[in-house]
Amino acid sequence: MEIKKEEAVFLLKKMMQIRQFEDKIWELLSKNIAQGGSHLYAGEEAVAVGAISVLNPDDYITSTHRGHGHAIAKAGKLPELMAEILGKATGVCKGKGGSLHLADLSQGNLGANGVVGGSLGIATGAGLSIKLRGTKQLVVCFFGDGATNQGIFHESLNMAAKWSLPVVYLCENNLYGMSVSVKRASAVEDLTKKALAYDMPSENIDGMDILAVRKTVRKWVDFARDGKGPSFIVCDSYRYYGHSRSDAKVYRTREEEKFWKGRDPIILFGKKLIEENILQEEEIKGLESEVFDEIEQATKFAMESPLPKPEALYEDLYV
Amino acid sequence: MREITYRQALNEALVEEMERDERVFLMGEDVGPYGGAYGVSKGLIEKFGEERVRDTAISEAAIIGAGLGAAMTGMRPIVEIMYIDFIGICMGQINNQVAKVRYMFGGKTKVPLVIRTEGGTGRTLGAHHSQSLESWFIHIPGIKVVMPATPYDAKGLLKTSIRDDNPILFIEHKMLYNRKGEVPESEYLVPVGEAEVKREGSGVTLITYSQMLFYCLEAAEELEKQGISVEIIDLRTLLPLDIQTIVESVKKTNRAIIVEEDCKTGGTGAEIGMQIMENAFDHLDAPIKRVAGADVPMPKSPNLEKLAIPSKEDIIKAVKEILGK
């Protein structure tokens, strides 16, 4: 395994941050401290962290309704993100966006989206903007398996392929669009086939293996940076929690959940690092407790932060 | 002063703004060599090349979405939706994305995007090419809705819209493209959000916009001969609404009629009328009236199409009714 210790620690810690962040949100939801909904990313950490770790800071991403993981991986600050999810004035979007609309333009995160497939056009346009401005940036557009059945998915892939835009379309296939499985919703189960119609290179990989994600995404990132155009990657993955708080998960079996949790991306990567003698078990435990403290601090910050002032209601609507 | 058409005025605005700012580019269906369905972008691809004058696939949702993504990342796109009737295909992109990202993201992004489109009746094109859908969009906080009637305003408002850091829906009218009007050679701008009194009068205020302005002006000419004085306000921008100019006029005339080409029910007149009630009720001597389009899908037959929108005679009749004459 060709990975430096420093880098391994960074990747492992980021994944731990996402996992513990999501577990904390679940706890806050259960206690009704966090209101509304939150679609949790736990289980899919290797995709966001792996893909974003090979990007430059000025590269863009677009995210999804299940966007906490992308926001954390794209240099999001845990306290600001937690505060945003609680609707606080100190949140990254001043409490106006919430879980479904985490965005940080200063870090190149063009935003999560409450509409499935809602950010595919935005990502394509950011790719066009890069081309017109003549920079070396690129876009990674995250979306789920459900989005591949939306019209704008096909419109965007067609447009990006025709214009050879620097966009990596990254599908997180977690097997279900809310409750309906890929099997039941999509005429093709192998989602990479959908890119064939646009003559776009595509690849299906194990989204639970962060090193596989990094390797593949890096390949297609280089491809885009070389001006060779867009690509389509399908990462097989699994969301541990249900679609949202109210989901009784009647559409999937406990055996299936057990199978995927047996391939947990954080445990898998940790084991590998121990096997390869890059990290010791104690160090991993140390990282876990470091992250635990960070999440506690972020939660404290968020809970103690004020709600937006009433005058904020009409702020930031127009320039 | 020289006279040019509405089409030429719009074309000049595009050329001048693209020359002024290289971040400005145009994208849409048939905007390239064809020059746009109504010829507004003729000659642009020869002048600016196909990178900045981009023909797209017939993909309205992606056109708007890509315009938004480009606007958020440093460009100033003008995207064209050929007929406003097609806007339903990309309504989610406009309503949920374009209009909301700035607010949802706590003001941390700007959307300098102009969506150019055209609407209205007059060419007997039937129900999928003749609608007036502006009232859908005045219900969406976060965008501005601009609807110029004269070549002067078309040019000045398009230039201002392109320089605006907010998303703007710029709705042209298919029957106005060939209409000529005075447009100065030298540069000028028309502010977004300001109505204009196009004709001063004392008996009643007609509040209108787009093609209906000319119907109102013709009606006013005829009414003048009969001794009735009419004031006409051209809104030019529907959102934000320049309610101040309307109220000032109503204070003077004490009577208001809204003349609109769109369907009456839930139309722009409903909102404008209510705002007059809220802001100038004490100055009204008669109930507000609406002269509006029929609540039907636009029929093809030329006679039915004419019946489905206000006529000069309808306006004259309403003025006489509100004056009790």
CB A309 within 8 A of CB A89: yes
For testing contact with chain A, the best of B108, B163, B166 (most A CBs within 10 A): B108
Flag whether pLDDT at B134 surpasses 70: yes
Query: Is B278 labeled as catalytic in the residue annotation?
Result: no
The interaxial angle of helices A78-85 and A5-30, nearest 10 deg, is 20
Give the per-residue pLDDT at A244. Answer: 80
The 8-class DSSP code of residue A53 comes to T
Rounded Cα–Cα distance for residues A209 and A235 (Å): 10
Residue B147 confidence (pLDDT) above 80: yes
What percent of chain B has pLDDT above 90?
Answer: 100
Partners of residue A118 in chain B, C-beta under 8 Å: 92-93, 96-97
B109 and chain A: CB distance < 8 Å anywhere?
A: yes
Q: Is there a domain that residue B272 lies in?
A: yes
pLDDT at A1: 67
Query: What percentage of chain B has pLDDT greater than the value 70?
Result: 100
**CA gap A73, A12 in Å, rounded:** 11
- Asked whether residue B220 falls in the same domain as residue B178, the answer is no
C-alpha of A121 from chain center: 17
Q: Put residue B149 in one of left, alpha, beta given phi > 0 → left and psi -120 to 50 → alpha.
A: alpha
DSSP A56: -
Q: Where are the domains of chain A?
A: 5-301
Pick the last residue of a domain from B129, B154, B182: B182
B189 within domain boundaries: no
Confirm or reject contact between B206 and chain A (CB < 8 A). no
Q: B147 with B271, same domain?
A: no
For residues A126 and A166, give the distance between their C-alpha atoms in angstroms, rounded to a whole number: 9
Q: Which of 57-96 (B) contact A at CB < 8 A? A: 57, 59, 61-62, 64-75, 77, 92-93, 96
- Residue B188, in any domain of the structure: no
B60 labelled catalytic: yes
Residues ≥6 apart with Cβ < 8 Å to A282: none
Contact A18, A210 (CB under 8 A): no
pLDDT digits (tens, 9 = 90+) for B254-279: 999 999 999 999 999 999 999 999 99
Domain for residue B209, yes or no? yes
Instruction: Give the C-alpha separation, A231 to A139, whole Å.
Output: 11
Record the tokens describing residue B25, joined without a space.
């580019």
B67 in a domain, yes or no?
Answer: yes
> Three-state SS for A107?
helix
Dist. CA A153–CA A204, nearest whole Å = 17
Judge if B301 and B173 occupy the same domain: no
- Based on the fold, state whether residues B7 and B101 are members of the same structural domain: yes
Between CA B220 and CA B215 the distance in angstroms is 9
| Mean pLDDT for all residues in chain B | 98
ipTM score of the complex? 0.95
Closest chain B residue to A91 measured between Cα atoms?
A: B106
A81 burial class (0-12, 13-18, 19+ CB within 10 angstroms)? buried
Please report the DSSP string for B153-169 in residue order. Answer: HHHHHHHHHHH-SS-EE
Domain that residue B282 falls in: 196-322
Interchain CB distance below 8 Å, A319 and B70: no
Do B41 and B145 belong together in one domain? yes
- B261/B252 Cα distance (integer angstroms): 25
Q: Do B134 and B201 share a structural domain?
A: no
Which CATH number is B84's domain given?
A: 3.40.50.970
Reference B11, options B84, B31, B121; nearest CA is B31
The per-residue pLDDT for B234 is: 98
Interface test with B, best of A129, A135, A162 (most B CBs within 10 A): A129
Q: Is A115 in Cβ contact with B106 (below 8 Å)?
A: no
Written as six digits, the tokens of B71 are 């606007």
Strand partners, A142: A170
Fold of A5-301: Rossmann fold (3.40.50)
**Shared domain check, B143 and B174:** yes
Residue A245's pLDDT is what?
78
**Cα dist. A16→A145, A301, B239, B258 in Å?**
24, 19, 47, 61
pLDDT value, residue A36: 87
Which whole-number Å values give the CA distances from B147 to A258, B92, B117, B123, B137, in the listed order?
A: 59, 22, 10, 19, 12
Residue in B12, B17, B29, B60 annotated catalytic = B60
- Cβ of A93 within 8 Å of Cβ of B52? The answer is no
State the amino acid at position B23 in one-letter form. R
Question: Cα torsion for B312, B314, B320, B322, to the nearest 10°?
Answer: -120
Q: What is the 3-state secondary structure (H, E, C) of A199-225?
A: CCCEEEEECCCHHHHHHHHHHHHHHHH
Give me the residue from B65, B74, B144 closest to A121, CB to CB: B65
**Does B143 lie in the same domain as B14?**
yes
Residue B190 counted as domain residue: no
Residues of chain A with pLDDT under 50: none
Report the DSSP pairing between strands B230-234 and B196-199.
Answer: antiparallel
- The alpha-carbon radius of gyration of chain A (Å, integer) is 19
- In a shared domain, residues B46 and B165: yes
Neighbouring residues of B79: CB distance < 8 A, sequence distance ≥ 6 = B26, B27, B28, B63, B64, B66, B67, B113, B114, B115, B116
> Which uninterrupted H or E stretch holds B262?
strand B256-263
Inter-chain contact B106–A122, Cβ cutoff 8 Å?
no
Q: Does residue B191 form part of some domain?
A: no
Do B227 and B271 sit in the same domain of this protein?
yes
The Cα A46–Cα A15 span in angstroms is: 7
CA–CA distance, B209 with B236 (Å, rounded to integer): 6
- Cβ of A125 and B165 within 8 Å? no
> Is the model's pLDDT at B139 over the cut of 80?
yes
Q: How far apart are CA A11 and CA B72, in angstroms?
A: 29
The predicted model gives B204-217 an average pLDDT of 98
Q: What gap in Å lies between CA B174 and CA B181, rounded to an integer? A: 16
Whether residue B70 and residue A114 make contact (CB cut-off 8 A), yes or no, is no
What residues in B contact A91, CB-CB < 8 Å?
106
Considering B129, B134, B172, B260, which one is annotated as catalytic?
Answer: B129
pLDDT for A191-230, tens place per residue? 999 999 999 999 999 999 999 999 999 999 999 999 999 9
Residue in chain B lying closest to A99 (CA): B104
When mean pLDDT is compared across A28-37, A282-291, B5-14, B171-180, the lowest value belongs to A28-37
Number of domains in chain B: 2
Q: What is the CATH number of the domain that holds B241?
A: 3.40.50.920
| pLDDT on residue A246 | 81
